[in-house]
Structure 1
Amino acid sequence: MSRFERVRGRLLRAYESGRESVRSGRDDADEAPARAEVATPESPGPVAPPTATVVGAPPPAAMHASTSSRDDADVPHALRIAAAWSWRLIVIGAVAWALLRIVGTIRIVIIPLAIALLLSALLAPAVGWLLRARFPRSLATAVVLVGGLAAVVGTLTLVVNEFIQGVPELSDKSSQGVRQIQDWLKTGPLHLSDSQLTQYIDEAQRWVDDNTDRFTSAATTTAATLAEVLTGTILVLFATFFFLRDGNRIWRFLVRLLPVAARWKVDDAGRASWATLGAYVRATVLVAFIDAVGIGIFLVIFDIPFAFPLAALVFLGAFIPIVGAALSGGVAVLVALVDSGPVTALIILGAVIGVQQLEGHVLQPLIMGRAVAIHPLAVIIGIAAGVVLAGITGALVAVPLIAVLNTAVRRLAARTVPDTPPDAVVVASQAP
C-alpha cells in the first residue's frame, strides 16, 4: 500500500468518527426532556426557578439587606438598629471604663509623663535653636532644662519672700476689714444685734471644732503624699530630658510596633498632634503672661499688697482656661477689698473682667488660631472631668489632651494619603 492510500484511510476514519460523535450528541439532547419529566424517588420532579410564582404557596417573608435569617426579618428595622447601637455603645463604655481604671491605678506615672510632655512641647524650640548653633544634643537639652528649672525656682523664691514680708501688714488690715464688716452688719440693712453676731460667731467656731479631725486627717494625707510628689517631680525631670533629647527616636520606635499599613497614617496624625500641642502650650504661656502683666499693672498702680505673687498666681491660673483665670482674679479682688476697701476692689474687678474679655475675644483667637480652637463647652466638660479624675493636675492636662485628640482624630479620619516621610525607602516592583 502506498503512502497516499494510508493517508486517505486515516482521513476517512477521522470523518466517520466525527459523524458518530455528532449523532450521539443529538440523541442525548432529544432524550433529556423526557428524562426530566419522569419523577423518581431520587428526582421528585422539576424545581421551580427562584423567580417563579408557585400557586397556592404563602408569599415569602420580606428580607432586608441587613438581615441574615428569618428571625431577624421578623424584628422591626428600628429595633434592630437600636440594638446594634446599644451593644456597640456598651462595648465602648466597658473599654473606656477599663482604661480609666488603669489610668487611675498608675496615675502616679501617667500624670508626671503628661506634665513632661507639656514641658517638652514648651522647651523644644529652645533645644532646636541650640542644635542649629552646633550644640551637642545632650548638652543643648541639659542647658535648656537647667535654665527653665532655674527660672521656676527664682520666681518661686521671689513670690515666697514677698509673701512673707507682706503677711503681717495684711493680717492687720484683715482684722480691720472684719471689724468693718461687723459694723456694717449692725448699722446696715440687716440691723443685727450684738447677741445675734455672737451667736453666729459661736456657731462658726463650733463648726470648726467639729471638723478639726477632718482637717487634721487631710493634713496627714497631704504629708503622706509628699513622697509621691517628690517621686513625680524627679520623674518629670528625667522624662522631660529624654523627651527633648530622644523624642523623635522614641516616636519612631512606637510607630514601628504598628502594622505596616497603619504606620504612615499614625505617624502623620502623631506629628500633627505634636505640632498642635506645641502651639497650644506656647500660646497659653504668652496669653498667661499678658494676663499677669495686665492685672499686675493695676495692682501696682493702686498699691495692692502682694502685687507680684498675685500676678504670678494669675499667670499660673491662666493655664486652666476660663476657670483658672477667673479664680486667680477673684483672689486679687479679695485682697484689694481687705486692703483698700470696696471702691478699689471694684476697680480691680473691672480690670480683671477687661483682661479676661481681651483674652477670650482677641488674644486666644489671634494667637492660637484655628489649629487648636476648641468649643467652650468641651473645655468646661474636660476641666470638670480632669478635676474629678486627677484634681488640679487633671484640670491642667485636660484641655491640651482634648486639643491633641481633636487633631489626631481629624487626621486619622481624613481620606487623604499622608506625605512620604523624607527618610522612607521606596522599593519599586518590576513586572515579570
Structure 2
Amino acid sequence: MTEPEKPAPAQPSASRATAPSASGASASGFSSARIATATMVVLAIVATAWVAIALTRFFMLVFAAIVLAAIFGAIADWLVRRTRMPRGWALALSVAGIVALFIGVFALFGSQLAREIDTIREQVPRALQGVEAFLDRFGLGAQVRDVAAVGSEDLSRLASQAGGYALAAGSGIADFVLVLVAAIFLASDPATYKRGLLMLIPARAEPTAKLALEDAARGLKGWMVGQAVSSLVVAAFTWAGLALLGVPAAGGLGLIAGLLDVIPMIGPIIAGLPAVLLAFTVSPATALWTLLLFLVIQQLQGNFLQPMIQKQAVDVPPAVLLFAVVAAGVLFGFLGVLLAAPLTVVVYVLVQRVYVKTLLGKDIKVAGRD
C-alpha cells in the first residue's frame, strides 16, 4: 500500500515574514528619537549653564540694584512716616543722601591721603629700617629683607599694570551708575516689578513664591537695620580710636571702616590696611597700636554686632556666613564679597521657605518675625 502523502509545510505569509522587520524598524526609530531627545536636553542644560556663568556679573549687578533699591525704599518709607511728605520727595532725599555720603567719604579720605603721600614715602622706608634693625638682633633681618625684595617686585608689577587698573576703575564707575539708576527705578515702583516676576511663576507655585518674596524682603530689611547700627558703631569707634592715636585722616578712615563693615568679619581688616599705612607717618609704635585697634574692632564686629544683625534679619550661622563670603569672592570677585551678606540672607530665607517649609513640610522661623 502506498503511504498517504504528507501535506507540505505551510509557507509563512508575506505579512508574517515582514512583521519582525517592521517591529525592529519601529523600535529602532523609537530608540533614535529617545537619543535625540536626550541629546537636546543635555545640550539645553549645558547652554543654560554656560549662559548663567557668562552672565554672573550681570546677575550680581541686578542683585546689587535690588539691595540698593531696598535701602532707598526703607529710608524713603521712614521719612514718609516721620514727615508725611510725598514718597517721591522722600525717595529723592534718600538717593541724594546716600550719594552724598559716598562722595563725601571718598573726597575726605582721598584729599587727606593725597596730602600724606610724600610723608608716607619718607616715613615708611625709615620705619622699615627700624624694624629690620630690631629683627637683626634676633637673626631674622635677612628673612625680612628677602620678603621686602619680593614685595618690591610685586609693587613694581602692580605699577606696570596701572593702566589696566584705571580701566577697571572706569568700568566700576559705569557699573555703579547703572546700579544706581536701576535701583531708583526699582524703588520708585516695587509693586510693578514684583507682579511681573510672579507672572512668570506657575499658578500652583505662585502662593509659595509670593511668601518667599515677602520673607526675602523682610530679611533684607532686617539686615539693613542691623547693618546700619553696626556700621555707625564701627565708624564711631574707628574715628575716635584713630583720633586718640593721632593718625591722619581719622574721620575718613572711620567712615570707610563703617562702609566696609557690610563685609562680615573681613571688612574691618580691609579697612585697617590704609589706616596702618597712614599710622606709619606718625611712628611705627602708632602703626602697631592702630593694628591692635582694628583687631579689637574686628572682635567687636564678629562677637557682638554680627549676632545683633542676625537677630534683626535671620539667624545665619557665623561659619556659614564666613564661607559664603569666601565662596562669593571666588565666584563673583570683589562684587560678590561686597554683596555676600545680603545674598546669604536672601538665599537662606528662600531655602527655608521653598525647600524646608514647602517641600519637606517642616516648621521654620520666618525672617523678621519672632
- Whether the TM-score (by the shorter chain) exceeds 0.5 is yes
Q: CA distance change for structure 1 residues 289 and 246 in 2, over 3 Å: closer, same or farther?
A: same
Q: CA distance change for structure 1 residues 197 and 148 in 2, over 3 Å: closer, same or farther?
A: closer
Aligned-pair distance for 1:339? 2.8
CA distance in 2: counterparts of 1:189 and 1:253, whole angstroms: 69
- Is the CA contact 2:261–2:267 (under 8 Å) kept in the aligned structure 1? yes
- Is the CA contact 2:243–2:250 (under 8 Å) kept in the aligned structure 1? yes
Work out whether 1:365 is the aligned partner of 2:307.
yes
What amino acid is the match of 1:115? A
Q: Deviations over 1:108-151 (max 9, x none)?
A: 43232222222122222221134455544443322321222122
Residue aligned with 2:333, SS? helix
Q: Deviations over 1:33-90 (max 9, x none)?
A: xxxxxxxxxxxxxxxxxxxxxxxxxxxxxxxxxxxxxxxxxxxxxxxxxxxxxxxxxx
What amino acid is the match of 1:150? A
With CA pairs under 8 Å and 6+ residues apart, which has the higher RCO, 1 or 2?
Answer: 2
Q: Deviations over 1:272-311 (max 9, x none)?
A: 1111012113312321221121122111112122322322
CA distance in 2: counterparts of 1:397 and 1:98, whole angstroms: 27
Q: Deviations over 1:131-181 (max 9, x none)?
A: 455544443322321222122212221111211222223332213212313
What amino acid is the match of 2:205? A
Work out whether 1:411 is the aligned partner of 2:353.
yes
Higher normalized helix content (fraction of residues):
2
Work out whether 1:157 is the aligned partner of 2:102.
no
What amino acid is the match of 1:105? A
- Is the CA contact 2:70–2:221 (under 8 Å) kept in the aligned structure 1? yes
What amino acid is the match of 2:98? G
Q: CA distance change for structure 1 residues 283 and 201 in 2, over 3 Å: closer, same or farther?
A: closer
Q: Which residue of 1 aligns with 2:93?
A: 143
Q: Which residue of 1 aligns with 2:324?
A: 382
Q: Which residue of 2 aligns with 1:238?
A: 181
Question: Percent identity, aligned pairs only?
Answer: 24
Q: Which residue of 2 aligns with 1:281?
A: 224
Q: Which residue of 1 aligns with 2:335?
A: 393
Q: 1:402 pairs with 339, 344, 348, which one?
A: 344
Q: CA distance change for structure 1 residues 409 and 223 in 2, over 3 Å: closer, same or farther?
A: same
Q: Which residue of 1 aligns with 2:36?
A: none
What amino acid is the match of 2:272? G
Q: Deviations over 1:344-380 (max 9, x none)?
A: 4444344333333332232232343064222222222
What amino acid is the match of 1:175? P
CA distance in 2: counterparts of 1:198 and 1:357, whole angstroms: 29
- Is the CA contact 1:108–1:232 (under 8 Å) kept in the aligned structure 2? no
CA distance in 2: counterparts of 1:176 and 1:377, whole angstroms: 41
CA distance in 2: counterparts of 1:272 and 1:205, whole angstroms: 48
Aligned-pair distance for 1:198? 12
Q: Which residue of 1 aligns with 2:74?
A: 125
Q: Which residue of 1 aligns with 2:295?
A: 353
Report 1:61-72 matches (<5 A): none
Q: Which residue of 2 aligns with 1:113?
A: 62
Aligned residues: 317
Aligned-pair distance for 1:237? 1.6
Q: 1:308 pairs with 226, 251, 259, which one?
A: 251
Q: CA distance change for structure 1 residues 224 and 340 in 2, over 3 Å: closer, same or farther?
A: closer
Q: CA distance change for structure 1 residues 266 and 298 in 2, over 3 Å: closer, same or farther?
A: same
Residue aligned with 2:290, SS? helix
TM-score normalized with structure 1 length? 0.64
CA distance in 1: counterparts of 2:148 and 2:262, whole angstroms: 40
TM-score normalized with structure 2 length? 0.74
Q: Deviations over 1:166-215 (max 9, x none)?
A: 222333221321231343344x11176xxx79995996599469x74x75
What amino acid is the match of 1:387? G
- Is the CA contact 1:291–1:359 (under 8 Å) kept in the aligned structure 2? yes
Q: Which residue of 2 aligns with 1:171?
A: 121
Query: Mind listing any 5+ residue stretches in structure 2 that lack a counterpart?
Result: 1-40, 363-370
Q: CA distance change for structure 1 residues 128 and 389 in 2, over 3 Å: closer, same or farther?
A: same
Q: CA distance change for structure 1 residues 306 and 171 in 2, over 3 Å: closer, same or farther?
A: farther
What amino acid is the match of 1:316? L
State the superposition RMSD in angstroms: 3.4
CA distance in 1: counterparts of 2:145 and 2:306, whole angstroms: 49
- Is the CA contact 2:220–2:313 (under 8 Å) kept in the aligned structure 1? no
CA distance in 1: counterparts of 2:244 and 2:149, whole angstroms: 40
Aligned-pair distance for 1:246? 1.0
- Is the CA contact 2:215–2:349 (under 8 Å) kept in the aligned structure 1? yes
Q: CA distance change for structure 1 residues 261 and 208 in 2, over 3 Å: closer, same or farther?
A: closer
- Is the CA contact 1:127–1:141 (under 8 Å) kept in the aligned structure 2? yes
Query: Mind listing any 5+ residue stretches in structure 1 that lack a counterpart?
Result: 1-90, 418-432
Work out whether 1:299 is the aligned partner of 2:226.
no
What amino acid is the match of 1:351? L
- Is the CA contact 1:272–1:408 (under 8 Å) kept in the aligned structure 2? yes
Q: CA distance change for structure 1 residues 183 and 374 in 2, over 3 Å: closer, same or farther?
A: same
CA distance in 1: counterparts of 2:151 and 2:200, whole angstroms: 62
CA distance in 1: counterparts of 2:352 and 2:326, whole angstroms: 24
